[in-house]
A and B are shown apart, each in its own frame.
Chain A
Amino acid sequence: MGEPALIGAATFSEVFDRYFDLVHGYLRRRVGDAAEDLAAETFSRALAAFERYDAGRGDVRAWLLGIATNVVHGHRRAEARRLRAYAREAGRQVPPGDGVDVGARLDAGAAARRAATAIAHLPSGDRDVLLLVAWGELSYEEVAVALAIPVGTVRSRLNRARTVVRAHLEKEDGR
């Protein structure tokens, strides 16, 4: 966060250079191995619209993540597979660092599994907002730009999504 908007006199190449990792990383977390294809689709759409992009609409980062989010919409199955994988792999991914006992690792694994399950069951609009905040590191205002929705809607969707995730985290692990 905090980098100045890059459109203005910037070339598309410079925009690509600066934001590729961000966009690819976001897509990688949302759709796994399909990220490279979807990153290409995202930047292709961005290039097609680049000359007409209005910098006054906000940070180019939000613009690109908004395009990436729309691209993900056509790949819900890939996203569902990714979330199932998170749920499956939870616990194994917690690094066995110094000072982290086995119990804490198991707790973290269970929390990750429940969170992934909760995200998978969110309405897509709520999920988009939650993941643009959590994984895209966008502010509420930037999410509003990315998804072309009012800031109030961002707040209500995020609140709803967090409530659902929290409810999953607090319930007993029935597995």
Chain B
Amino acid sequence: MIDELEVVRALGAHEAAAGDGARDRVWARVTGPAPRRRGRVLRPLLAVAAPVALAVAAVVAVAVLRAGADHDDVRVYRSAEPAPAAPALAAPFPGAHQFLYVKSRQTQMSCTAVASESMRCHMDPTGIRESWVSEREQGEAVDPRADRPMELSPSAIYLGNRRFTHDEILAYHPTPPELLEMLQKGRIGKQGNGGASYPFAQLTDALREMPLPGPLAVTVVQTLPLVPGVKDEGSVTDEEGRPGHAYSRVVGHMREQVIVDPEQGTMLQERQFALDAEAAPGIEGPDLGNAVYLQRAVVDRVGQRP
């Protein structure tokens, strides 16, 4: 009689050993490029320099997350290459009980009604927003417009109107046309005022602060130019000097632009511009909103920063 567990144990048993140098390469990537010193020699160093080490690790961790996302279907980041110094923005995907941490710098418009059918708007000061979003756990957001941290309910994963479980989203691998078709067929009534470019809003919603597996996030980005009415603005750099690709659409009196990293499947920056004075009474100049996404990472609890 076959013991199924023994058969499974035998699978791949011949290749379990690490290759030459793997241990040192991984160590270097985890702790930084310094020569490896281990054991007792490192113990006092670690005790004294723990905060520094953790800070380095945070930077490296982001780079490693980027590398991890690369490995599947995007770009291979070889371990022999030095970790990039500039902050990287991979699309890390947390476990169902973990949190996606997103840090952004935002300038948003606020409008208040001053009389019937009359509105005055102003731009809020620029501030840092941090959010911890989890599928199963209570999350939190620290927003410059709120005077205290805001509780966020467990966040279901949606693409358009379709809700996914954790496992479903991991197994969902549409092509960009298939994804667009799913969004368009899933629209209810006149959702998005019936505008053909509405999937642009659904796709950018998914890229903002929602957990998405890396390969699927890349597909979401690749779907943007397929949306009717979306303009491909070509290669640009964002406010942080990071290279990306810009797409935009016009809605009413406003133009919405996103700058994305097409290889990582991440949103780098999004901006809204007024096309005329009707867009936002009281606002001088075209800028109606601006958010720069500075950091994304998987963390284990609310308040934890990478």
Contact = CB atoms under 8 A, between A and B. Distances in A.
Interface of A: 11-14, 16-17, 20-21, 24-26, 28-29, 34, 36-41, 43-45, 47-49, 51, 70-71, 73-78, 82, 86, 93, 108, 111-112, 115-116, 119, 123-125, 130-131, 133-135, 148, 162, 165-166, 169-170
Contact of B60 (A37, A44, A135): A44
A112 B215 CA distance: 29
A38 B14 CA distance: 20
Q: Chain A binding site: helix, strand, loop or mixed by DSSP?
A: helix
B57 A47 contact: yes
B295 to A, nearest CB: 13
Interface in B119-167: 167
Contacts of A123: 167
B26 to A, nearest CB: 5
A13 B45 CA distance: 11
Interface in B29-45: 29-31, 37-39, 42-43
Nearest to B97: A148
Interface of B: 2, 4-5, 7-19, 22-23, 25-27, 29-31, 37-39, 42-43, 46, 50, 53-54, 57-58, 60-61, 64-65, 67-73, 77, 79, 92-95, 97-98, 167, 170-171, 173, 213-215, 298-300, 304, 306
A37 B64 contact: yes
A93 B64 contact: no
A71 B54 CA distance: 19
A169 B50 CA distance: 50
B50 A51 contact: yes
B64 A77 contact: no
B76 to A, nearest CB: 9
Given A43-B26, A44-B60, A47-B31, A74 B5 contact: no
Contacts of A169: 2, 4, 7
A56 B37 CA distance: 28
B218 to A, nearest CB: 12
B46 A11 contact: yes
A77 B12 contact: no
Contacts of B42: 11, 13
16 contacts: A20-B23, A24-B26, A25-B16, A29-B12, A36-B19, A36-B26, A38-B71, A39-B22, A40-B26, A41-B64, A47-B31, A111-B7, A112-B11, A115-B7, A130-B8, A165-B8
Looking at B4, B39, B94, B213, which has the most chain A CB atoms within 10 Å of its CB? B4
Contacts of A78: 71-72
Given A13-B38, A25-B16, A29-B16, A116 B61 contact: no
**Ranked 4 nearest A-B pairs via Cβ:** A25-B16, A44-B61, A29-B12, A40-B29
Nearest to B95: A70
Given A37-B68, A44-B29, A77-B72, A28 B97 contact: no
B8 A115 contact: yes
Contacts of B73: 77
Nearest to B70: A37
Given A40-B30, A93-B14, A124-B170, A76 B213 contact: yes
A147 to B, nearest CB: 9
A112 B12 CA distance: 10
A37 B173 CA distance: 22
Contacts of A36: 19, 22, 25-26, 79
B65 A41 contact: yes
A107 B64 CA distance: 41
A166 B30 CA distance: 40
B8 A119 contact: yes
Looking at B92, B173, B298, B306, which has the most chain A CB atoms within 10 Å of its CB? B298
A170 B133 CA distance: 44
Contacts of B60: 44
A44 B79 CA distance: 14
Contact of A48 (B22, B26, B58): B58
